[in-house]
């Protein structure tokens, strides 16, 4: 997982999908999905406080400047982004990235 500041106060968040049913990554390409659909829950947190929860059907999310301003997470703020895969196996273990100045 990574989070990268972009122009205008946007934050680009990206991650690599892993399969939860035991498929093995052998050729450097994405493994087949064992889920019927690709679904992600993304939470922006400060400590235990959840500032925002969004869902995505792709491996990436742009936390745009307007949302960041509303959440108080503009550049210089310290916060965490947690991402969980959702699906038939329930919510997955979260991946985490800490964003700080």
Residue-wise pLDDT tens for the chain (101 aa)?
A: 899 999 999 999 999 876 656 655 566 666 556 666 788 999 999 999 999 999 999 989 999 999 999 999 998 899 999 999 888 878 888 999 999 85
Residue 33 and residue 40 in contact, taking contact as beta carbons nearer than 8 Å: no
Domain hosting 65: range is: 2-16+36-99
Residue 21 lies in a domain: no
Residue 43 contacts residue 56 (beta carbons within 8 Å) = no
Whether residue 29 lies inside any domain: the answer is: no
The number of domains in the chain is: 1
Helices (H) and strands (E) in the chain, counts: 1, 7
- On whether residue 78 sits in a domain, the answer given is yes
d(CA 23, CA 33): 8
Q: How far apart are CA 11 and CA 49, in angstroms?
A: 20
In a domain? residue 31: no
Tell whether 24 is covered by a domain: no
Alpha-carbon span 79 to 71, nearest angstrom: 10
Give me the CATH number covering residue 7: 2.60.40.10
Q: What are the tokens at 72?
A: 């108080």
Answer yes or no: is 68 within a domain.
Answer: yes
pLDDT at 38: 81
């Amino acid at each position: 997982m990574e989070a990268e500041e972009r122009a205008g106060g946007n934050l680009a968040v990206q991650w690599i999908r892993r399969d939860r049913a035991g498929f093995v990554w052998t050729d450097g390409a994405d493994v087949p999905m064992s889920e019927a659909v690709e679904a992600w829950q993304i939470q922006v947190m400060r400590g235990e406080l959840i500032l925002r929860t969004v869902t995505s059907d792709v491996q990436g999310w742009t936390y745009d400047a307007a949302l960041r301003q509303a959440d108080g997470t503009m550049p210089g703020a310290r916060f965490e982004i947690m991402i969980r895969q959702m699906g038939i196996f329930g919510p997955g273990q979260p991946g985490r990235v800490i964003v700080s100045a």
